[in-house]
Amino acid sequence: DHHVNYGSGSGLQDRVAFVQSDPSQYDASIRLADLQESDTGTYQCRVKKNTVAVHEVIVTVQEKPAPPQCWFEGELVEGSSLLLRCFSR
């Protein structure tokens, strides 16, 4: 039907669009911009020509890792050993 059903209160209206301007030309792919954790869910593509074809895709958006915290242990002396440690939440 040349439209995207966004669901209720999903906040997707400004971030979802068809990849091709005319989905009736055999490409009903959509692009979801600015992914957010709340976008995790099941998405369904329903194409109707002579019959109806339905395909579901499960999308899981993971949180971006925090910047690592790094430090070293040991002396900064030429020829000595040094241990570099990094940690990220």
User: First vs last Cα of the chain: how many Å apart?
Assistant: 45
pLDDT in tens, 29-73: 888 899 888 888 888 888 877 888 888 999 999 888 789 999 999
- Per the domain annotation, does 85 fall within a domain? no
Strand, helix or coil for residue 1: coil
Q: Which domain holds residue 23?
A: 1-64
- Per the domain annotation, does 53 fall within a domain? yes
Question: At 17, which CATH number?
Answer: 2.60.40.10
The DSSP string of 20-41 is SS-GGGT---EEE-S--GGG-E
pTM over the 0.75 mark: no
What lies within 8 Å, CB to CB, of 19 at 6+ separation is 27, 29, 30, 31
User: Total structural domains in the chain?
Assistant: 1
- Per the domain annotation, does 43 fall within a domain? yes
